[in-house]
Structure 1
Amino acid sequence: MATRSLFHGLRCRLTNGVFESNFIRNAEASLFSKSYSADTAIGSSFVEESFDSVEKDDLRSRIFRLRLPKRSATTVLEKWAGEGNQISVTELRYISRELKRTRRYKHALEIIEWMVHHEESKISDADYASRIDLISKVFGIDAAERYFEGLHLASKTTETYTSLLHAYAGSKQTERAEALFKRIIETDSLTFGAITYNEMMTLYMSVGQVEKVPEVIEVLKRKKVSPDIFTYNLWLSSCAATFNIDELRKILEEMRRDASSYEGWARYIDLTSIYINSSRLSSAESSSPVEAEKSISQREWVTYDFLLILHTGLGNKDMIDQIWKSLRNTNQKLSSRSYICVLSSYLMLGHLREAGDVIDQWKESKTTEFDASACSRILNAFRDVGLEEKANDFQLLLVQKKCSLENEVS
């Protein structure tokens, strides 16, 4: 369960904040029930922060000086406006996003609510979507659901539907998510993109129902929705987690033919091929008695590996660092596949120092024996996909680390 929680937390980082940047269409506002205003989350008495005259005195600074959730961002906004200052919707959206990024959800929700009550004509679908997400975090899923159902029909848009689905997925409310997803795919008046389908697949991966991911893919294709790299990653992860290697290779071929592919996709495809070939990920492994006993753990590790592969394709070195650090901090034994995956990821992005650190960590590990033959397979796999220069860099690195590959490299 610990590893599933880690996976879900890491997955959530991929999707948090998407609504603010992608959804811009304006829609009719619906007044939010007073009983669910953000001010009632803590209580009715609020104390405004005192402001040091020597500190920067703008709206954002005043709000961010509200350290405690019980203090009211609404009070700050009213005081700022009462002093004759202008408040733009653009500024409020920026402040709310920053508050959300730092997990100050109650204050972020107060900002959105102030916008709804004072700038109703300028509220976008993204604002409603953000409000649903924040309500779920401050008051819970039931409150978010009631708010969504209370919206006018014009405000029940692609963005708000997806935001509620995101909230269900984040709290692993599978039955509710499936019911909402059924409504979504039966809605002919709205067009949903890959992100909506990704939410359902992320949910199924996080609760261990990987066998349902292909069902979502079938619906996506039937609806003629173009998959993105996140879609493919989830699909590939589900196949790898069930050791369906033949299907995995078919998906890679489909990615190669996809007209929307770009450099990051090519890097992703190459690294996935390297991982499959060098980690000995094969259907045969899952049939042995020993592997059967470890199947749940191994499936989870494979899923983490594909999360690393995804961020390598996206060029997100910082996320690779964070995921690898999180995996190393778990109490569970790291698999050789995970070392192979992160090592290949750093090599693919040209970070040789970090790749060297992984080799050192692997050699020093007390639970996972360093495997020189695996390094040989990585070398061969890089060469198989035509990345000769990176293979040579890796070979030099192995020499520097005194890793003997005699009789290993084919």
Structure 2
Amino acid sequence: MKMISQWMSDERGSEQSPGDFAVRLDLISKVHCLEQAEEYYNSIPDHLRGTQVYGALLNCYAHKRRLEKAEATMQKMRELGLVQTLSYNVMLSLYSHMGRYEKLEALVKEMEEKGVNSDIYTFNIRLHAYVATSNIEEMEKLLMKMETDSLINIDFHTFFAVANGYLKAGLLEKSIVMLKRAEELTVPMVGTTKAHAYEMLLTLYGSAGNKDGVYRVWNSYKNTGRIFNSTYICMINSLMRLGDIDGAEWISEEWVSRKTLYDIRIPNTMIRAYSRKGLWKKAEEYVNKIVESGMQLEASSWDHLATGYHFGGQMAKAVETLKKAISISKPGWKPNPYTLKTCLWYLESKGDEEAAEELLKFVSEHHPVSPGKNDI
């Protein structure tokens, strides 16, 4: 607080624009807290509290999910004639994230009545709301409206949202049509934006059960140059979801052969996928291979393997592997509670109450706040 007060005092000695105040207001809210941002806002002269400053304050409240304060700020902006499309988008996004869809619809109606133009962000926020509520009819109507609006340049986010909506409704063919339209828009993209778009395509094609789409997108992405580790993870997850174990293994081996920066998330993805499918032998072999190569595993890696042993009925191995996971864990990490509970039940069912107590004590020693075995 002292530092902020000093900063505000120093700023009074120089001439500041509304834009300067808005930037500082946003920064204080993010770096410090909302209360300090409000204090800074109160220090801004009234005649400099224009659209930029009020807009920044509105963003602060929306970011912190302070609904009442955001609504009060929006109302003040209405009274001062400072409301713009951006202000409406901030409130629409807030209502969408908080599940207040009735308020979202009321605000859309207000925009229409006041002749406030919608932009691509307005439409996409509304689309996501319709997807969240599985309102396919309104989603389709809105997409049609966007396509006939010459001022709106539809982006890949739009088609991803609609594809996801169809996917949730079980309309797979319609979902794939939207994904293909999204694919067309990824061609001119570059960098992380392109990687994000491809990862979404891989995930959604995998969820739609479309293996051809998954491989087509992957091969297209590989031709663009650098492949991010996060994209490898999406590809492996999609193939595992499709039951293409051989394909997932091939992608994993490709990642190893590229000798990119080691990323524990990729081995964890493979171990977790094997384990969830009950393929504990494959999970075990994969872990042994990683260990033999000299690469390091973390607590979650062993925890995933313990879960695989549990699903495969290898409970003795599950207990020992879970202990290993706990022994190398860092503060704040917790084992899979279902696996832990099953291991305790297994030991008790064998009549080995002492071993169950030892396991529970082992957990407590590494994580003092862990619950008792009856509460797990």
Q: Normalised by the size of structure 2, how large is the TM-score? A: 0.50
Rg (Cα) greater in structure: 2
Q: Normalised by the size of structure 1, how large is the TM-score? A: 0.46
Relative contact order (C-alpha < 8 Å, sep 6+): which is higher? Answer: 1
